[in-house]
Amino acid sequence: MKQAKTLSPAELKRVLAVASADRHAERNKLAILLSFYAGLRVKEIAALTIGDVFTKSGDVKSFIHLTAAQTKGSEGRTIVLGSKLIEAMRTYYILANLKQQQEVAKPLLRSQKGTAFSANSLCQLFAHLYAAAGLEGASSHSGRRTFITNLSQKGVSAKVLMTLAGHKNLSTTQRYIDVNDTMLLQAVELA
């Protein structure tokens, strides 16, 4: 099975521009950013609730605790949010007019019908956005692979990568890392 394409910063910028032109711009941008900056699977993105991400006062949580039902497999996991994603969440909270105190169990990202996305419908949304951006080979897993590859390229340890990805085995995490020319050049310069 062919793996999802990892995206360059320019390609990420292009898909975000496409998402920004859509009627549901903030929702679509946040879905992409959750994939690229937290390495979330579409099932996990679709399962997020407002209460998972925001405190009762509307602050963004730095750590999101997902239940086993929200993740792949039989165990929950913790997602760590970096500053770029926290800022995007704050913007979304304001622009989507989320009222945390009253809506903690409601989905973070809602379909046009106002309901939670299924993993399949969110996959279709990603496919639509990537196709509109002209990115062949990109899929709903591209953000996740790019997240893991970028961290690996920056020297993040294998154990930390495995934990952030929610993998039980290092071999699974290693399959996500896309070796590119930049990584090869940096490696030979260490010799």
User: Are 130 and 149 in a shared domain?
Assistant: no
Q: Which residue has the tokens 């419908």?
A: 121
Domain membership flag for residue 1 = no
What pLDDT score does 159 carry?
87
What pLDDT score does 153 carry?
84
Domain membership flag for residue 2 = no
Tens digit of each residue's pLDDT (9 = 90 or more) over 60-102: 999 999 998 998 877 889 999 999 999 999 999 988 888 655 6
- Sign of dihedral through CA atoms 58, 61, 67, 71? positive
What pLDDT score does 107 carry?
93
User: Are 150 and 133 in a shared domain?
Assistant: no
Sorted by sequence, the CB contacts under 8 Å of residue 153 that are 6+ apart come out as: 180, 182, 183, 186
User: Are 132 and 170 in a shared domain?
Assistant: no
What pLDDT score does 7 carry?
93
Q: How many distinct structural domains can be found in the chain?
A: 2
Q: Which CATH number do you get for residue 30?
A: 1.10.443.10
What domain range includes position 41? 9-139
Cα–Cα distance measured from residue 183 to residue 164, given in angstroms and rounded to the nearest whole number: 21
Cα–Cα distance measured from residue 54 to residue 61, given in angstroms and rounded to the nearest whole number: 6
What pLDDT score does 72 carry?
85
Domain membership flag for residue 31 = yes
User: Are 19 and 111 in a shared domain?
Assistant: yes
Given a cut of 70, the residues of the chain with pLDDT beneath it are 1, 99-102, 183
Domain membership flag for residue 3 = no
Cα–Cα distance measured from residue 176 to residue 178, given in angstroms and rounded to the nearest whole number: 6
Task: Determine which helix (DSSP H) or strand (DSSP E) holds 66, and give its type and residue range.
Answer: strand 63-66
